[in-house]
Structure 1
Amino acid sequence: MLSAVPPSAPPHAGDKPAVISISSHVARGTVGNRAVVFALESLGHPVWSVPTVTLPWHPGHGPSTRLVPDEAGFAGFVSDLCEAPWLGEVGAVITGYFGAPSQVAHAARLVDAVKRRNPAAVFLCDPVVGDGAAGGEGAARLYQPEATLHAIRDELIRRADMATPNRFELELLTGLEFSDNRHLVEAASALGPARVVVTSAFPLLRGGIGNLLVEGETTLLAEHRRIERVPHGLGDLTGAVFLARILAGASSEKALQSTTAAVFEILARTTKRGADELTLETDADVLRSPLAMVQMRRLAPAGGGLRA
Structure 2
Amino acid sequence: MKRILSIQSSVTYGFVGNSVATPVLTSMGIHPLAVNTVMLAAHPGYGIFAGQATPADHIAAILNGLVTLDIIPDIDAVISGYLGHADQIAHIASLISNWRAAGASGTYICDLVLGDADTLYIDQSLADRMIDQLLPLADIITPNQFELTYLSGMPVAGSDSAIKAGQHLLASQARLTAVIATGITNDDDLVHDILITRSVHKSWQHKKRLAGISGSGDLFTSLLAGGLVQGVPLSDATARASHLAQAVIARSPNPKELALLENLDLFRTTS
TM-score by length of 2: 0.92
Among 62, 66, 85, the residue aligned to 1:100 = 85
Aligned to 1:225: 207
Among 120, 127, 132, the residue aligned to 2:105 = 120
Aligned to 2:7: 22
For the 8 Å contact 1:23–1:52, the answer to whether it is kept is yes
2:68 alignment partner AA: E
1:260-297 Cα deviation digits (max 9, x unpaired): 110111111112xx47311211101112447xxxxxxx
* 1:230 Cα offset (Å): 3.4
Matches for 1:128-139 after TM superposition, within 5 Å: 128-132=113-117
The structure-2 alpha-carbon separation of the partners of 1:46 and 1:58, relative to structure 1 and needing over 3 Å to count, comes to: same
Aligned to 1:243: 225
Structure 2 gap segments, 5+ residues each: none
Cα RMSD, aligned residues only: 1.7
Aligned to 1:279: 259
For the 8 Å contact 1:114–1:121, the answer to whether it is kept is no
Moved segments of 4+, more than 4 Å: none
The aligned length equals: 265
1:185 alignment partner AA: I
Name the structure, 1 or 2, with higher relative contact order (CA <8 Å, separation 6+): 2
1:121-176 Cα deviation digits (max 9, x unpaired): 210000111101xxxxxxx2100111111111111111111110111011122233
2:59 alignment partner AA: F
1:35-85 Cα deviation digits (max 9, x unpaired): 112111111111111011100000011122232232323222222223322
Which whole-Å CA distance do the structure 1 matches of 2:186 and 2:193 have between them?
A: 9
For the 8 Å contact 2:39–2:52, the answer to whether it is kept is yes
* 1:88 Cα offset (Å): 2.0
Matches for 1:54-203 after TM superposition, within 5 Å: 54-132=39-117, 140-191=118-169, 192=173, 193-203=176-186
Aligned to 1:302: none
Secondary structure of residue in 2 paired with 1:40? helix
Secondary structure of residue in 2 paired with 1:99? coil
Greater displacement, 157-166 / 174-183: 174-183
Which whole-Å CA distance do the structure 1 matches of 2:157 and 2:255 have between them?
A: 32
For the 8 Å contact 1:199–1:211, the answer to whether it is kept is yes
For the 8 Å contact 1:149–1:173, the answer to whether it is kept is no
The structure-2 alpha-carbon separation of the partners of 1:84 and 1:190, relative to structure 1 and needing over 3 Å to count, comes to: farther
Secondary structure of residue in 2 paired with 1:102? helix
Identity of aligned residues (%): 26
2:55 alignment partner AA: D
TM-score by length of 1: 0.81
2:50 alignment partner AA: T
Which whole-Å CA distance do the structure 1 matches of 2:54 and 2:256 have between them?
A: 28
1:59 alignment partner AA: P
Q: Does 1:257 align with 2:239?
A: yes
Which whole-Å CA distance do the structure 1 matches of 2:92 and 2:233 have between them?
A: 28
